[in-house]
Amino acid sequence: MTIVFRNRRLVLCWACLIALTLASFKSGPMSRAADAELFQPIFVILLAGFKMRMIAMEFMQLRTAPVLLRFMIEIWILLLCVAILLMLFRA
Average pLDDT on 48-59 reads 92
Average pLDDT on 26-48 reads 75
Q: pTM above 0.85?
A: no
Contact 43, 24 (CB under 8 A): yes
**CA 91/CA 82 separation, integer angstroms:** 14
Contact 46, 81 (CB under 8 A): yes
The confidence score (pLDDT) of residue 35 equals: 63
The confidence score (pLDDT) of residue 4 equals: 64
Average pLDDT on 53-76 reads 93
